[in-house]
Amino acid sequence: MRSFLAFIFVLLLTGAAALYASAFIVHQNEQALVLRFGEPVGVITKPGLNWKVPVVDTVDIFEKRVLDLDASPQEVTALDQKRLVVDSFVRYRITNPLEFYKTLRFEGAVPSRLGPIVESAVRGILGGVNFSDIVRDKREELMQRIAKQVNAQAAPLGIEVVDVRIKRADLPEQNATRVFERMRAEREREAAEFRSQGTAEANRIRATADREVTVLKADATRKGEELRGTGDAERNRIFAEAYGRDTDFFGFYRSMQAYEQAIKAGDSKLILSPDSPFFKYFNDPSGLAPKP
C-alpha cells in the first residue's frame, strides 16, 4: 500500500514538473519564438499563457517595445566640401521575430548590423546636400529620407525603423575656428552692407525732405510777397483816396504817425530847427507855418 502511494506521489510530482516545464508566459511588451531542437517552429506575438514540449522545445523572448541604438559619430563631407562630425541615433522595433532570429539570432547583434546601415545612409544622404541644409534649412526632410532608406535596408532583418535623429552635428575641431571666423566675416559684411543701404536711404529721404522744405518756403515767400504787395497797393489806394477827400486831415494824420514813430522809444533825440515843417503841428494845431 505504501509503495502504491509513493508511486502515485512520484507520478503527480513528475506530472507537475512536466506541466511547469511545458508552460511559459508571454508578457504584454514581449513576443516569443519557439525552437525545437534549435529550429523555429512557432511565433507568438500575443500576451498570455502558452505551451511547449519539455526538453525538446526552447523559447526565445524578444522585446516588442521601441528600442534605441546610438550610432558611432562619423565625419561627413557635405556637397560644398565642408566637413562636420555627425552623431546620430535610431529608434527601432522588432516586427518579425522569425527573420530577426535567422539573421541576428539575439538582440545584442543589432549594433553590428544596424549600426553600419545607419552610418552609410547618414553619410550618403548628408554628403549630397550643402552644409547649411544639414544644420538649418532641410534638417527635418533629411532625417525623413535617412529613416526611409534605413528602414528599407533593415526590413530583411525583421526590424522596423521608427525614427533616425541627429543628436549633434559639429565642425571638426581643427576646422571650427576657421569656419567660425569666416561666418563672422560674412555676417559683418552683410551688416555693413545693410548699414550702407540704410545710410543711403536716409540721405535720400533727407535730401527729398530738404528739397520739399525749400520749395514750400519759396512758395510761402512768394505768396507772402504777393499778399504784401496787394496790401501795400490797397493801403496806397486808401491813402490816396483819403488824401483826395481831405488833404488837411490826411497831412495831420501822417504827421501824428511820424511823431509816434519818432518818440515812441522814450529816449529818442531829434536835432531839428524849431521852425522845421516837422513841428508845424506843435506850433499851430492848424498846421500853418509860423510867420517870420
**What pLDDT score does 5 carry?**
66
Q: At what angle do helices 173-245 and 247-263 cross, to 10 degrees?
A: 140
Q: Which residue has the cell 529816449?
A: 267
Question: 278 or 50, which is more confident?
Answer: 50
**What pLDDT score does 17 carry?**
65
Tell me which H or E stretch contains 281.
Answer: helix 280-283
- Inter-residue contact 122 to 55 (CB < 8 Å): no
Reduced to 3 states, what is the DSSP secondary structure of residue 91? strand
Q: Which residue has the cell 508552460?
A: 23
Which triple of cell numbers denotes residue 256? 501824428
- Inter-residue contact 123 to 76 (CB < 8 Å): yes
Q: Report all structural domains of the chain as residue ranges with CATH numbers, in order of start.
A: 2-63 (no CATH), 67-170 (3.30.479.30), 259-292 (no CATH)
Chain segment 223-236, per-residue pLDDT in tens: 988 888 888 788 77
**What pLDDT score does 274 carry?**
62
Chain segment 104-139, per-residue pLDDT in tens: 888 889 999 999 999 999 999 988 888 888 877 788
Chain segment 152-163, per-residue pLDDT in tens: 999 999 999 999
Q: How large a percentage of the chain has pLDDT more than 70?
A: 75
**What pLDDT score does 292 carry?**
47
Task: Provide the CA 58 distance to its chain's centre, in angstroms.
Answer: 57
- Inter-residue contact 131 to 82 (CB < 8 Å): yes
Q: Specify the pairing of strand 30-36 against strand 39-44.
A: antiparallel
pTM: predicted TM-score of the whole model, two decimal places: 0.53
Chain segment 177-228, per-residue pLDDT in tens: 666 777 788 888 888 889 989 888 999 999 889 898 888 888 888 898 888 8
CA-CA distances (angstroms) from residue 26 to 44, 48, 50, 92, 100?
A: 8, 5, 7, 21, 18
Question: 135 or 256, which is more confident?
Answer: 135
Chain segment 44-75, per-residue pLDDT in tens: 888 888 888 887 888 888 998 999 998 888 88
Question: 133 or 247, which is more confident?
Answer: 133
CA-CA distances (angstroms) from residue 181 to 100, 137, 175, 177?
A: 49, 21, 10, 6
What is the C-alpha separation between 290 and 274, in angstroms, rounded? 10
Task: Indicate if the pLDDT at residue 291 is higher than 50.
Answer: no
